[in-house]
Amino acid sequence: SQKIEQNSEALNIQEGKTATLTCNYTNYSPAYLQWYRQDPGRGPVFLLLIRENEKEKRKERLKVTFDTTLKQSLFHITASQPADSATYLCALPPGGGADGLTFGKGTHLIIQP
Amino acid sequence: DTGVSQDPRHKITKRGQNVTFRCDPISEHNRLYWYRQTLGQGPEFLTYFQNEAQLEKSRLLSDRFSAERPKGSFSTLEIQRTEQGDSAMYLCASSVNGAPNTEAFFGQGTRLTVV
């Protein structure tokens, strides 16, 4: 099964700076990778999906990269704002033809004004 | 609101009692998932339905857990003889037809506390 590693410690970033979150995975390379945002007491909200043949994906202030050689995805938030403070989850398909998603533990991002 | 709806939002139960949660997915979605999330962890996959058929079950889903989706619309997750270790957030998600690698839409979750 897939194992996903995300920074378990909180990431503190000053408002206006770029926040960069890391997702590393072991074992096989997935066909795609997804990033979700989760606020306290709420369900995750989908942000971006990047496929294995895509190096980079952008959506407004968000950018995701996918390096299948390093087995790593980076998630960037540019011009960060306090409202971006949340937990960000990386998710991959479990492999072996199975459905559902395997999630990392998430990184808690704090944008300080 | 046409998103994924879960009921109840919170449930406190005594150990040994049975509990049942309900999930109403987005109407045009035929795929429905149940996940469990504990504090400081990401969601863990429990089970998956395509229409009314339960196609996958995680090893996390012990014999005390059962899920149904009788008409391919709403789903229920029942936990029998609850244990304190069952305390968690139970999340339901749905996704569009025939698209295994598109986004999942999550509900707000049901927070279960077993005392």
Q: Where are the domains of chain A?
A: 3-112
Note the pLDDT of residue B101. 64
Note the pLDDT of residue B6. 98
Q: Do B45 and A91 touch (CB under 8 A)?
A: no
The class that CATH gives domain A3-112 is mainly beta
Parts of chain A with a pLDDT under 50: none
Q: Sign of the C-alpha dihedral, residues B24, B56, B114, A36?
A: negative
Q: Sign of the C-alpha dihedral, residues B92, B95, B100, B103?
A: negative
Look-up of token digits 């040994």 = B16
Q: What is the pLDDT of residues B70-101, one digit of tens each?
A: 988 999 999 999 999 999 999 999 998 655 56
To the nearest whole Å, the CA of B35 is away from the closest chain A CA by 9
Q: Is B4 on the interface with A (CB under 8 A)?
A: yes
Q: Is B55 on the interface with A (CB under 8 A)?
A: yes
Q: Do A100 and B41 touch (CB under 8 A)?
A: no
Q: Do A99 and B31 touch (CB under 8 A)?
A: yes
Note the pLDDT of residue A93. 86
Nearest CA-CA partner of B95 in A100, A90, A42: A100
Q: Is B91 on the interface with A (CB under 8 A)?
A: yes
**In contact, A6 and A25? CB cutoff 8 Å:** no
Residue B105 gets the label, from left (phi > 0), alpha (psi -120 to 50) or beta, of beta
Spatial distance between the Cα atoms of A101 and B5, rounded to a whole number of angstroms: 20
β-bridge mates for residue A87, sequence order: A38, A108
